[in-house]
A and B are shown apart, each in its own frame.
Chain A
Amino acid sequence: MSSHHRWLLSQVPEWEREGLIDATSAAALRGRYTDQNTADGSRIGFAQIAMGSLGALLIGNGLIAVIGYNWDEFTRPTRLLFAFLPLLTSQIFSWWVLRRGDGASAWLRETAGLLQSLTTVGCLAIVSQIYNLGGNWPDLLLGWMLLILPLAWVLRAKSVAMLYLIGTAIWPFGQFNAGVAWHASPLIYPLLLAGLLPMWPGWPPKTAPSTWMRWMITPCATVGFCCAASFATYFTSESGYVHVNAEVAAWLCALVVACITLFPLNANGISEALGRKPQVILGALLLLGFGLAATFEDFSDEFDSLIGAFRLPWAWGLLMITAVFSALAVIQKRWAVLAIAMIAMLPLFGGVPGEWQHWLVTLYLAALGIAFIVLEFTGHRGSPRLGATLISLLTIARMADSDFPLLTKGIIFIAVGIAFLVFNLLIIRHGRRSSPVTP
């Protein structure tokens, strides 16, 4: 819980006593600021989870090391017993924690979930050791992830959910082969991610993921979806070889990021601090990076070859999702987010004559940068520093591919640097003038 929220909650009884707010408003305030910080309906501190997870990790790793020793002097059944005993012990522990229901503290649930997850993979590992099985890690990883997923649901163990998110985001890379059947390929990633949904039951979910869970989900989902979208671009060339279409894959990844950035939010979600919206921060960074790359002629020249993308159902699916999410963003007046997400649509300038494409992208990004600054100074919610950074980067990019002498480039870089610092000072002063002193 942030210090601001703690302070606000501590003031509520006093305000109620003084008659500044009534009982309903006090309850609403308590509900809102308590829920925001214990978003999953339980008061789980990060430290509790970290301690429980660390303990389970140490025990689990110790067990795996003991298992990994390969007890040559024992028979096969005895060695198999070593694999199953820790699993059974951890299952009994988890069952005991589960039976305690809400009485079980967060760290106990985390410890039980993680320990059982590790003994499960330990068991799979020793079986493959005893039978000298090969190192096909994607199969082992997927099997492990599916076996531990229900623990995240029933024990509400966030460490297990985190493990699952990371594991399922890594798995598609191991299956990135042309000959892999669709049901064993990265294309099933959306289903794997949907497997976590029971952690937030009901529709719309009664509770929202906590901030740090959002920071886990966003990068993992971005990686997983991008991998799936790239896999969908495999094609057979005239020579008979099967390749990924790199240009189309890059565009589909940009569309994936646009969808994640535009992910619909309710009114509470929109009013939350930016730090609680990693999809917007991460999405904006990735899309601005994509946009900046597209301001270079070499990159934007490839837009012409994107026509092949329209043969792919994935391209149409992503375009439709982007269109729906964009319409919702228009209704909710999320103009800044929408403007950033539209960077993914810039490759549609493919119809424009070659030499103009990168200039059109440059103009769009420059307009975006200026808009972020102007909004702030006209009483709207802008992002002046991001705008200034964008304009500075565009200037540097254009200098990089210009034919100006080195001296001219150097002077312009210095001028941009000074302008950036002065602008930063102006923003600090503007911020002090426009916001009252808060506790």
Chain B
Amino acid sequence: MKPLIASLIFLVAALAQWAGPLWRIYTYEQTLAHGMLIKLKCSAPDPYDPLRGRYLAIQPEQQQIEVPENLRLQEGVSFYAGFDTGDDGLTTLSGVSFTPPEKGESIRLRTRNYVHGSYIWIDWPFERFYLNEKLAPEADLWLAENIRSAQGVIAEVRVLKGKAVLADLSLAGKSFREILKERVK
């Protein structure tokens, strides 16, 4: 390969290696800054990722959603769902469609392997909340104490144009990180 062509290909590749993550950062920053806040009640065990360290596996309680009879969804298909917010401020999903609704925000989801009857299983776009290794053991204890409480652990998610970013976890309106830092002290 000629040196000039090799250099050009390298420069394009190097730019792409920056552009890929930078574009993701931009879209997630936009979602965090301008997205609608929804609150999901969830359960959360505590595993480990070799590449990205300790995290809490976030599992919203709602794992299924009803689909209209005329909508046939196969496994792995993307779809959009709207929101219903209850008196307690918690959000549940409702209204499934292949295209985003004309009014209001929606979230883009995928169907999981198992589809049954008029309900489908949801593959949520977030499932991890990363932690510092020092905080992780305390997070284990905190979760064990609170996961089955009446209030439950709440996932605060920002949603913009179908994209969802997990912003924080909270208990009784207090940030998860703040609670942990106080406990570690």
- Please give the residue numbers on chain A whose beta carbons come within 8 Å of chain B beta carbons, in ascending order: 64, 67-72, 80, 83-84, 87, 91, 94-95, 98-99, 101, 116, 120-135, 143, 147, 149-151, 153-155, 177-180, 198, 201, 240, 242
Which residues of B lie under 8 Å from residue A240 when comparing CB positions?
Answer: 72
| Contacts A91-B17, A147-B17, A178-B74 supplied; 19 other A-B pairs, CB < 8 Å | A68-B50, A69-B132, A69-B133, A70-B52, A70-B130, A124-B20, A127-B25, A130-B130, A132-B55, A132-B126, A132-B166, A134-B126, A135-B49, A147-B20, A150-B12, A153-B6, A177-B74, A177-B75, A179-B74
> Contact: B13 with A68, CB < 8 Å?
no
* Interface residues of B, dominant DSSP: mixed
A-B contact pairs, 23 of them (CB 8 A): A68-B51, A72-B132, A72-B134, A80-B25, A91-B17, A98-B7, A124-B21, A131-B166, A132-B166, A134-B127, A134-B128, A135-B127, A147-B13, A147-B16, A147-B17, A147-B20, A149-B13, A151-B13, A154-B6, A178-B75, A178-B76, A179-B75, A240-B72
CB < 8 Å: which of B52, B73, B77 contacts A126? B52
Q: Which of B1, B16, B51, B73 has the most CB of A within 10 A?
A: B51
A123 to B19, CA, bound (A): 11
8 residue pairs, one from A and one from B, having the closest CB atoms: A177-B76, A179-B77, A179-B74, A150-B13, A72-B132, A179-B76, A68-B53, A129-B52
Interface string of B82-108 (1 = CB under 8 A from A): 000000000000000000000000000
Which residues of B lie under 8 Å from residue A147 when comparing CB positions?
Answer: 13, 16-17, 20
User: Taking the nearest CB of chain B, how far is it from the CB of A100, in angstroms?
Assistant: 10
CB < 8 Å: which of A99, A132, A143, A198 contacts B130? A132
Instruction: Specify the chain B residue showing the minimal Cβ separation from A185.
Output: B76
> Contact: B54 with A70, CB < 8 Å?
yes
Interface string of B1-43 (1 = CB under 8 A from A): 1010011011011101110110011001000000000000000
B67 interface hit (Cβ, 8 Å): no
> Contact: A68 with B49, CB < 8 Å?
yes
A101 to B135, CA, bound (A): 48
Q: Which of A64, A150, A201 has the most CB of B within 10 A?
A: A150
User: Taking the nearest CB of chain A, how far is it from the CB of B102, in angstroms?
Assistant: 24
User: Taking the nearest CB of chain B, how far is it from the CB of A110, in angstroms?
Assistant: 16
A98 to B127, CA, bound (A): 41
A365 to B96, CA, bound (A): 56
A179 to B72, CA, bound (A): 11
B125 interface hit (Cβ, 8 Å): yes
Interface residues on B, range: 35 or more
Which residues of A lie under 8 Å from residue B165 when comparing CB positions?
Answer: 131-132
> Contact: A129 with B18, CB < 8 Å?
no
A116 to B18, CA, bound (A): 12
> Contact: A154 with B130, CB < 8 Å?
no
- Please give the residue numbers on chain B whose beta carbons come within 8 Å of chain A beta carbons, in ascending order: 1, 3, 6-7, 9-10, 12-14, 16-18, 20-21, 24-25, 28, 49-55, 72-77, 111, 113, 124-135, 165-166, 177
> Contact: A70 with B53, CB < 8 Å?
yes
> Contact: A127 with B124, CB < 8 Å?
no
Which residues of A lie under 8 Å from residue B129 when comparing CB positions?
Answer: 132
A68 to B128, CA, bound (A): 14
Which residues of A lie under 8 Å from residue B50 when comparing CB positions?
Answer: 68
Q: How many A-B residue pairs have CB under 8 A?
A: 125
Known interface pairs A68-B53, A126-B52, A179-B111; A83-B13 also in contact (CB < 8 Å): no
> Contact: B75 with A242, CB < 8 Å?
yes
A206 to B6, CA, bound (A): 18
Instruction: Specify the chain B residue showing the minimal Cβ separation from A94.
Output: B10
A348 to B55, CA, bound (A): 53
Instruction: Specify the chain B residue showing the minimal Cβ separation from A198.
Output: B1
A129 to B73, CA, bound (A): 31
User: Taking the nearest CB of chain A, how far is it from the CB of B88, in angstroms?
Assistant: 24
User: Taking the nearest CB of chain B, how far is it from the CB of A55, in angstroms?
Assistant: 20
User: Taking the nearest CB of chain B, how far is it from the CB of A24, in angstroms?
Assistant: 31
A135 to B9, CA, bound (A): 30
User: Taking the nearest CB of chain A, how far is it from the CB of B134, in angstroms?
Assistant: 8
A125 to B52, CA, bound (A): 6
Which residues of A lie under 8 Å from residue B124 when comparing CB positions?
Answer: 134
Which residues of B lie under 8 Å from residue A72 when comparing CB positions?
Answer: 131-132, 134-135, 177
A149 to B49, CA, bound (A): 25
User: Taking the nearest CB of chain A, how far is it from the CB of B126, in angstroms?
Assistant: 5
Instruction: Specify the chain A residue showing the minimal Cβ separation from B12.
Output: A150
Known interface pairs A72-B132, A87-B17; A242-B74 also in contact (CB < 8 Å): yes
Which residues of B lie under 8 Å from residue A127 when comparing CB positions?
Answer: 21, 24-25
User: Taking the nearest CB of chain B, how far is it from the CB of A80, in angstroms?
Assistant: 7
> Contact: A69 with B128, CB < 8 Å?
no
User: Taking the nearest CB of chain B, how far is it from the CB of A144, in angstroms?
Assistant: 9
A70 to B129, CA, bound (A): 11
Q: Which of B12, B25, B127 has the most CB of A within 10 A?
A: B25
CB < 8 Å: which of B1, B14, B132 contacts A91? B14
Which residues of B lie under 8 Å from residue A198 when comparing CB positions?
Answer: 1
> Contact: A123 with B74, CB < 8 Å?
no
Which residues of A lie under 8 Å from residue B17 when comparing CB positions?
Answer: 87, 91, 116, 120, 123, 147
A132 to B77, CA, bound (A): 22
A180 to B124, CA, bound (A): 16
Which residues of A lie under 8 Å from residue B9 when comparing CB positions?
Answer: 150, 153-154
